[in-house]
Amino acid sequence: MHVIDALKQRHSTRAFTQQAVSTEQIETLLTAASYSPSGANTQPWQVAVLTGDSKQKLGQLLEQAFYAGDETKPDYIYYPSTWKTPYIERRRACGLQLYASTNIEKADTEGRKAQWAANFRAFDAPVVLLFFIDKVMEAGSFLDYGMFLQSLMLAAQEQGLATCPQAAFADYPVQIKTLLGYDDTVSLLGGMALGFEDKDAAINSYRTPRAAVSEFSRFFS
Concatenating the DSSP letter of every residue in 78-90 gives: -S-SS--TTHHHH
Of 139, 148, 157, 131, residue with least CA distance to 13:
157
Report the pLDDT value the prediction gives residue 86, as an integer from 0 to 100. 96
Report the pLDDT value the prediction gives residue 220, as an integer from 0 to 100. 98
Fold of 3-78+120-201: NADH Oxidase (3.40.109)
Q: How many CA atoms lie within 13 A of 128 on its CB side?
A: 26
Q: What is the dihedral of CA 114, 119, 120, 122, to 10 degrees?
A: 130
Report the pLDDT value the prediction gives residue 39, as an integer from 0 to 100. 98
The residues of the chain scoring below 50 in pLDDT are: none
Report the pLDDT value the prediction gives residue 106, as an integer from 0 to 100. 80
| Angle made by CA atoms 120, 186, 57, in degrees to the nearest 5 | 30
137 SS3 class: coil
Report the pLDDT value the prediction gives residue 107, as an integer from 0 to 100. 85
Report the pLDDT value the prediction gives residue 58, as an integer from 0 to 100. 97
Residues whose CB is less than 8 angstroms from the CB of residue 81 and which lie 6 or more positions away in sequence, other chains included = none
Report the pLDDT value the prediction gives residue 93, as an integer from 0 to 100. 94
Residues whose CB is less than 8 angstroms from the CB of residue 175 and which lie 6 or more positions away in sequence, other chains included = 61, 62, 65, 70
Report the pLDDT value the prediction gives residue 104, as an integer from 0 to 100. 86
Report the pLDDT value the prediction gives residue 105, as an integer from 0 to 100. 87
Q: Residue 67 belongs to what H/E stretch? A: helix 52-68
Report the pLDDT value the prediction gives residue 51, as an integer from 0 to 100. 98
